[in-house]
Structure formats: C-alpha cells, structure tokens
Chains A and B, each alone.
Chain A
Amino acid sequence: MSRKILFLNRHGPFGSNAGRESLDAALIAAAFDQQVSLLFVDDGVLQLVKNQSDAPLALKDVSPTFKSLGLYEIESVYVDGDSLKARGLTPDDMLVPVAVLEIEGVRALIEAQDAVLGF
C-alpha cells in the first residue's frame, strides 16, 4: 500500500545526525514505493546549501545524496520561504531545485499527508 509520507527536517547538517537519518529513512521509504516528500524548515534549510564539505570537520557530508533523489523518484523537495530568508539564503543557494512555500503552503502540505515523520 503506497502512502503519502512527508519527512520534516528542522535541524542543520553536521551538528547532529538528524539530517542523515531523515534522508536514509526517506530513501528507504521511496525504495518501498511510498510517495515521499521532503520538507525543510528552520535550520533544516541549511541541509540543502551548495558546496558543503567533509574535510574541515572530518564528518561525512551527506549533501551529495540529495542529487540522487530523482533516481528514487522523489521529486518533491519543499522549503519554508521564511526560514530561508531569515538565514540570508535564496533558492539559488540550494543544491537541488526546491519549491519554496509560504506558511499556508506548509500547513496545507502537512494536512495532505498520510504520515509525517519529524527529524
């Protein structure tokens, strides 16, 4: 049975494993034919910034994995516009194409899901 599952991301990269765990779970859900969407709010938008790097912290840079979302048929990547603006970022800073949502759009996205997993 294929359900609409939204992965809600609030944390930036490197400070915790939340981003990596969320992405792993999303790819697994997609591999099992679920209808997966990704939503990034608050510091979550930082996970999508271009040109991240492993080297300075000796921590794994997970961001290249976002480039393979298409292979898993995950096409819906949403970011909260206010979270981007607050952090001085624009869609051009994102390493994949994103759909920028305002508050009402995020509310509607959450309500439209069968399940939401928060990370």
Chain B
Amino acid sequence: MTTLHTVNKSPYQDSALASCLRFAAPGSAILLLEDAVVAAVAGSTWSQAVAGAGEFRWFVLAADLVARGLSGKVLPGVCVVDDAGFVALVVEHDKTVAWS
C-alpha cells in the first residue's frame, strides 16, 4: 500500500511541506504543485531538504514550473509530470493526502 502526498503551499511561506516530510511514511510519493514547486528549484535552501529526503519518490507539476519560469531549474531526481501524469499518480496510489 503506498500513499501519494501533495503539497501546494510554498515551504518558505507555510509549514505544509515540513509537516508532510515529518509524517509521510518512507516509500511514499510526494508531488509538489502550485506554489510548492519552488521547493524543487536546484540550489535553493529547500532543495537541500528535498535532495536529502531520498526515502520518498519526488514529483513536480510541469504547468506550475513553466508558468513561474522555473522549468530549467529542477533538481535532478525530481520527476516532472504533466497533468495526465498527475492523474496517473493518483490512480496508482492507494490514497492521496493533500497537505494545505
């Protein structure tokens, strides 16, 4: 049974991602969308936490990166997904936990 966690708030603004990292079981998938995509920017403060949390499978939503002009800066190891990929992630997992 694996769980998908989604985070839509910027970690610089809200503790949602920090709480998700505390409470998600190892092996879970974490999808960053909306303002949270900033956590996947390589070289950022929060990208260190993302890079260090290798017990999770990391995903980031393409549309939110592109809109924000961030698509060239994604941390290696974070998988960029489009909207169809988002749907596939939800379908593949037993449940989805939205951290907002």
The answer for the CA separation of A10 and B100 in the assembled complex, in Å, is: 8
* A110 in contact with B99 (CB, 8 Å): no
The answer for the CA separation of A82 and B19 in the assembled complex, in Å, is: 11
Contact pick for A110, options B15, B16, B23, B98, CB 8 Å? B23
* B97 in contact with A8 (CB, 8 Å): yes
Given A110-B3, A111-B1, A111-B3, are A118 and B98 neighbors across the interface (CB < 8 Å)?
yes
* A115 within 8 Å of B (CB atoms): yes
Q: Is the interface of A mostly helix, strand, loop or mixed?
A: mixed
Kindly list chain A residues whose C-beta atoms are within 8 Å of the C-beta of B95.
113-116
Kindly list chain B residues whose C-beta atoms are within 8 Å of the C-beta of A114.
95
Q: Which residue of B lies closest to A109 (CB)?
A: B23
Given A42-B15, A42-B19, are A107 and B99 neighbors across the interface (CB < 8 Å)?
no
B96 to chain A minimum Cβ distance, whole angstroms, is 8
B1 to chain A minimum Cβ distance, whole angstroms, is 7
In the complex, which residues 1-43 of chain B have their Cβ closer than 8 Å to any Cβ of chain A?
Answer: 1, 3, 15-16, 19, 22-25
The answer for the CA separation of A113 and B95 in the assembled complex, in Å, is: 8
Contact pick for A111, options B15, B16, B25, B100, CB 8 Å? B25
Given A107-B23, A111-B25, are A116 and B16 neighbors across the interface (CB < 8 Å)?
no
Cross-chain pairs A/B with CB under 8 angstroms, 26 sampled: A8-B99, A10-B15, A10-B19, A10-B99, A10-B100, A41-B19, A42-B15, A42-B19, A103-B22, A103-B23, A106-B22, A106-B23, A108-B25, A110-B23, A110-B24, A110-B25, A111-B1, A111-B3, A113-B95, A116-B97, A117-B98, A118-B97, A118-B98, A118-B99, A118-B100, A119-B100
